[in-house]
Amino acid sequence: MHDATELTDRLHALAARVERVQRGSEGLTELEDVLATGYAGALSGEARMMRLEEALEDLLDTAAENRAHELRRLVGEQRALGRAVAELRSALARLQADFVALGGAAPR
């Protein structure tokens, strides 16, 4: 998820151009590719968030004063990642709706 901002920027740029994409055109292929990449990135971010949560739980189970710095770092990383994944999911939902409106297959 380290490139979540880049991916989200790509999604926003593509969404801005989507009104010029014709039904059934090559633009659908690009939309589909970006959606697939985006969903893979979101899943990766969510997996990382789960690992961070487990690490936090482990630290809390063995909480010692010298762990405070590590706890703060993990909490900060988890919060930032949560915001990035939420923004990515939001951008993906908007682009997915455009993709379907242009004739792409609806998700199952």
pLDDT attached to residue 35: 87
Distance CA 2, CA 85 (A): 11
Q: pLDDT band for position 23 (50/70/90)?
A: low
47 pLDDT higher than 90: yes
Instruction: For residues 83-94, give the mean pLDDT.
Output: 91
* Secondary structure letter of residue 105 according to DSSP: P
Alpha-helical (H) ranges within the chain are 4-17, 26-61, 68-101
By CB atoms closer than 10 A (0-12, 13-18, 19+), residue 22 is exposed
Average pLDDT for residues 26-45, to the nearest whole number? 85
- Distance, CA of 67 to CA of 82 (rounded, Å): 22
State the pTM of this model.
0.67
Q: Is 65 helix (H, G, I), strand (E, B) or coil?
A: helix
